[in-house]
């Protein structure tokens, strides 16, 4: 049983987001872009300018069919969306065994209770269930030790640093590249 299947679907849970969650997802992510600009390649201004339809598409196919991406959300006891993370799937034939974890964020008020870990594990469960997927990759801003440790604890390993990956306020920040072998530890 996967992490997401083992949880109730209404309160204090992690579940796949649907089109009905698009506005709440947009709000959570815009807050994350504003509060943690060094964690994301996109700016809050770039993302705020996008129509709600873009956010709905990012959530993936509403019918659960295989789309180019999927997003899971963390909901607190009140039922409010407090975090999200997604997977984008590579569509080119020679790279279709790979997915990228993107847009990981948990509101400060909901941190240190396991939502980040549960989001990552739910995405890895989703990836393992998708035929042909073998690798999930991600990047984390160099120096964000808490995020890097979370990913390592969930099975990711670093494989390099991209220097000067993003420009923020005149500073050039590196991105640590990480990967998780979905087949590791399986019989």
Q: What is the 3-state secondary structure (H, E, C) of 131-176?
A: CCCCEEEEEEECCCHHHHHHHHHCCCEEEEEEEEEEEECCEEEEEE
Task: Give the pLDDT of residue 136.
Answer: 98
3-state secondary structure of 46: helix
pLDDT beneath 50, residues of the chain: 1-10, 63-64, 187
Task: Give the pLDDT of residue 120.
Answer: 97
* Residue 179 DSSP symbol: E
Which stretches of the chain are assigned E, i.e. beta strand? 13-16, 69-75, 81-89, 98-106, 135-141, 157-168, 171-181
pLDDT digits (tens, 9 = 90+) for 1-47: 444 444 444 457 999 999 999 999 999 999 999 999 999 999 999 99
| Residue 152: partners with Cβ closer than 8 Å, 6 or more residues away | 158, 178
Neighbours of 162 (CB within 10 A): 13
Distance of alpha carbon 182 from alpha carbon 98, whole angstroms:
10
Task: Give the pLDDT of residue 158.
Answer: 97
Question: Residue 113: phi, psi to the nearest 5?
Answer: -120, 5
3-state secondary structure of 35: helix
Task: Give the pLDDT of residue 61.
Answer: 56
Task: Give the pLDDT of residue 99.
Answer: 97
Task: Give the pLDDT of residue 37.
Answer: 95
Which one, of 11, 16, 10, lies nearest residue 122 by Cα? 16
Contact 184, 155 (CB under 8 A): yes
Task: Give the pLDDT of residue 9.
Answer: 45
Domain extent listing, the chain: 13-133
Contact 135, 105 (CB under 8 A): no
Task: Give the pLDDT of residue 113.
Answer: 80
Instruction: Decide which of 3.40.630.30, 2.40.10.480, 3.40.50.20, 3.30.70.100 is the CATH code for 13-133.
Output: 3.40.630.30
Distance of alpha carbon 148 from alpha carbon 143, whole angstroms:
9
pTM over 0.85: yes
């Amino acid at each position: 049983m996967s992490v997401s299947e083992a949880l109730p679907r209404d309160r204090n849970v992690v579940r796949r987001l649907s089109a009905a969650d698009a506005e709440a997802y947009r709000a959570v992510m815009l807050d994350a872009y504003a509060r943690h600009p060094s964690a994301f390649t996109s700016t809050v201004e770039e993302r705020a300018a996008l129509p709600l339809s873009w956010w709905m598409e990012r959530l993936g196919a509403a019918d659960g069919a295989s789309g180019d991406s999927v997003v899971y959300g963390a909901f607190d006891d009140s039922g409010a969306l407090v975090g999200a993370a997604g997977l984008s799937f590579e569509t080119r034939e020679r790279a279709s065994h790979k997915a990228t974890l993107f847009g990981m964020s948990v509101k400060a008020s909901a941190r240190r209770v396991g939502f980040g870990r549960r989001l990552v594990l739910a995405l890895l469960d989703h990836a393992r269930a998708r035929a042909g997927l073998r690798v999930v990759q991600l990047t984390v801003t160099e120096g964000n030790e808490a995020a890097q440790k979370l990913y390592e604890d969930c099975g990711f390993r670093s494989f390099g640093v991209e220097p000067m990956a993003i420009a923020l306020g005149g500073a050039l920040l590196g991105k640590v590249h990480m990967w998780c072998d979905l087949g590791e530890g399986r019989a």
